[in-house]
Amino acid sequence: MNHTIFTPENSAMLLIDHQVGTMGWVKSADLEEIKRHTIALARAANETDMPLILTSSMEDQAQGPLFEELQKAVPEAFEKRVQRAGVVDAMKDADFAAAVKVTGRKNLIIAGITTDVCVVYPAITSVLEGYNVQVVVDGSGSPSKIADDTALRRMESHGVTLTTTNQLIAELAQDWSSEHGQKLMQVLFEEILSKLHE
Active site positions, annotated: 118
- Alpha carbons 116 and 103: distance in angstroms, whole number: 26
What's at 75, amino acid-wise?
P
Q: How far is CA 8 from CA 59, 84, 131, in A?
A: 30, 26, 16
Alpha-carbon distance of 174 to 7, in angstroms, equals 8
CA angle 109, 170, 37 (to 5 degrees): 60
Are the C-beta atoms of 110 and 123 separated by less than 8 Å?
yes
Helix (H) or strand (E) holding 99: helix 94-103
Q: Yes or no: say if 50 and 44 are a contact pair by the CB < 8 Å rule.
A: yes
Contact in structure between 30 and 138 (CB atoms under 8 Å): no
